Amino acid sequence: MDYMGKAILSSKVKGVTKEFGFPDDSEEKPVVDHEKEAEEERKRAEQKARRDDVQNKKKADRAAKRNEVREKYGLKESKNDTKMVEDHGTKPEQGEESKCLVM
């Protein structure tokens, strides 16, 4: 019952405010700055491109490492991994395992 009363009362108040010429707050539209939106969109695109580059480099490093393991154990090569390494031209990072330590 409270909901119905509130709905009826609010509709009557809206009607009265319009008759007296008071602006309705819900009808105000925010000002859109197209230049600012375009700048934000460009920044988002640049950030996405940077994230994609980093992700692709990581994938290529992993593919190169998998290729090394395949060569080491005489397994067949993966065309996808080979193509990814060729596209990004990366070599796997030297981990502690592959470093030669002399004591």
The predicted-structure confidence for 58-97, as pLDDT tens digits, reads as follows: 999 999 999 999 999 999 988 888 888 888 876 655 555 5
- Using alpha carbons only, give the angle 89, 91, 92 rounded to the nearest 5 degrees: 140
3-state secondary structure of 84: helix
Mean pLDDT of 22-45: 81
pLDDT of residue 100: 53
Whether residue 89 contacts residue 63, with contact meaning beta carbons closer than 8 Å, is answered with: no
pLDDT of residue 63: 93
Query: Does residue 4 have a pLDDT over 90?
Result: no
Say what percent of the chain tops pLDDT 90: 40
